[in-house]
Chain A
């Protein structure tokens, strides 16, 4: 029903309709600029020198753009006591995200397959319980998980964080694939069964090849969530094993020495780049994942 509001009936004069449209465009453009402002400030600040930041205007373009702050943030900035930049933490996050996304997506696909095509009595309760797990405040599992990781010797390790993210991502990945496979015709699965295809064969040959879009949605959703996680990172890791978000927070909130705003902003840009990149490249799938995560059932 796009465009229901304007000019559709003759009572609105052409002049006032034009004014209304100018108003709509003006409002939207102003709002868009407001939404872009923090990103703009973040980027320009990261390209300025400290003197320029202290003496100049936050909104001004950098007079003499330099990536010195980026270089420093990446390789020299002090986080805690070690001054080796954020690059190690960036890689920590990559090493955490890749396996966690892969495992949780694969398990979610299998779960969704079972919960739609191989239903058993009680499947609804199983799904309901997995769904509720998406929403729990993680504070309610933080202490036991810390104890468990400690006892298993996995605290402060990437493996531990991978495990945690797989566990608490399962609900969402299962939800995505379940809703997607729900719409997949049962007749095709039944026909394959009659032809003698087994459980995995049907999954591998029939469902998986059609799952492209939902795999993209799930991978993006999980990637964004896990990359952006802070609570688990700060609870279960410290020092050099921390993921990027924790390192960024440590860098920005440390109060020792001169506050280097440009380096802080450059580090924030590094932390934002992977998810922003995914958003720019596959925004449509990103939105679809968010929606699927929001409109349940």
Chain B
């Protein structure tokens, strides 16, 4: 740095060129930098901020006073949080399970050289284009205990039919499962259908020549070959289940009482309505940990495979 040397012309030119090279090399990074900075700050920085808040004594407003694990103790001593966790377990298992079973079933039926496939497929898929709020609104009306399905059944002559799940604390969570399955199962069907279309027909033919029955072909060959689709569907649905918020708000509002509380609604109400921001933050951290446990191994393996 401190030594000044006479610079030969050649070197100067080379240096000038390398400066131009520098810009050229740097330009792509310069273009990417704002986006990456945005993600760093507003995703990762904000996550750290939330984590920090969960260790403070924040109430209505953020207070940056260290509170240790207090918020977590309080979170895990809230009966409400256990209700939310239990509901998430019920909702998650049924939502994922039914969506996959129904999606696979419809996909297999659709794969039997169906004539009207072009008409049927969009019908199964259109709910995915709707907002959860629209879905919730439609199903809230459809399942309305006085005027909806129950009334229709009564009009049809089935007068003892009773369907009050929407207002029945024990059953309300299942209405969310129904609406959620209605919305997402067509999408799962489309994933499976794409998978079925990708299977090599030769394998199937060989099995048929060996005299394998249709059921055996599906059970032994086709469904095992669809394993990657099962995994993708599971990841997508699990992640949607944990994030589900709009649907609950629109369909039941978390009620009756707290019967359909989920971690997402818990986080919102503790943070913004009940002025326990630290507990709300702690619940957000728990949600993030839940999703990370599913997503990080998946992304890791996907990216590794791709860049082998």
Chain A residues numbered 35-84 whose CB sits less than 8 Å from any CB in chain B: 35-39, 41-42, 45, 53-54, 57-59
Contact of B148 among A58, A110, A132, A287 (CB under 8 A): A58
What 1/0 mask marks residues of chain B from 45 to 61 whose CB sits below 8 Å from any chain A CB? 11101100100000000
Query: Is B24 in contact with A167, judged by CB distance below 8 angstroms?
Result: no
Interface members, chain B 81-116 (any A CB < 8 Å): 106, 108-114, 116
Q: A143-B62, A228-B131, A297-B306 are in contact. Are A132 and B295 (CB under 8 A)?
A: yes
A14 at the interface (CB under 8 A from B): no
B125 at the interface (CB under 8 A from A): yes
How many B residues face the partner with a CB closer than 8 A?
A: 117
- CB-defined contacts of A102 to chain B, threshold 8 Å: none
- Return the CB mask of B119-142 against A: 1 if under 8 Å, else 0: 010111111111111111111111
Q: A12: nearest residue on chain B (CB-CB)? A: B214
Taking a contact as CB atoms under 8 Å apart, the answer to whether A224 and B129 are in contact is: yes
B111 contact set on A, CB distance < 8 A = 1-5
Chain B residue, CB-CB nearest to A272? B134
Partner of A135, one of B28, B268, B295: B295
Q: Output the nearest chain B residue to A141 by Cβ-Cβ distance.
A: B46
Give the dominant DSSP class at A's interface: helix
* Of B109, B235, B239, B284, the contact of A24 (CB 8 Å cutoff): B109
Instruction: Select from chain A the residue with minimum beta-carbon distance to B298.
Output: A296
- In angstroms, how far is the closest chain A Cβ from the Cβ of B159? 14
With A1-B201, A39-B126, A264-B141: A6-B191 Cβ-Cβ less than 8 Å: no
Contacts of B232 in A (CB 8 A): 294-295
Instruction: Tell me which of B38, B138, B204 contacts A167 (CB under 8 A).
Output: B38
**Nearest B residue (CB) for A224:** B129
Chain B positions 142-168 with a Cβ under 8 Å from a chain A Cβ: 142, 147-149, 151-152, 155
Q: Which of B50, B149, B217, B281 contacts A4 (CB 8 A)?
A: B217
Q: Which residues of B contact A278 (CB under 8 A)?
A: 129
Which A residues fall within an 8 A CB radius of B? 1-6, 8-9, 11-12, 21, 24-25, 27-28, 31-32, 35-39, 41-42, 45, 53-54, 57-59, 107, 110-111, 113-115, 118, 120, 124, 126-133, 135-145, 147, 167-168, 170-171, 174, 198-199, 224, 227-231, 234-235, 245, 248-249, 252-253, 261, 264-265, 268, 271-272, 275-276, 278-280, 283, 286-287, 290-291, 294-297
Beyond the given A249-B136, A252-B250, A291-B190, could you list 5 further A-B residue pairs with CB under 8 A, ordered by the A residue number? A1-B111, A4-B217, A167-B39, A230-B250, A249-B137
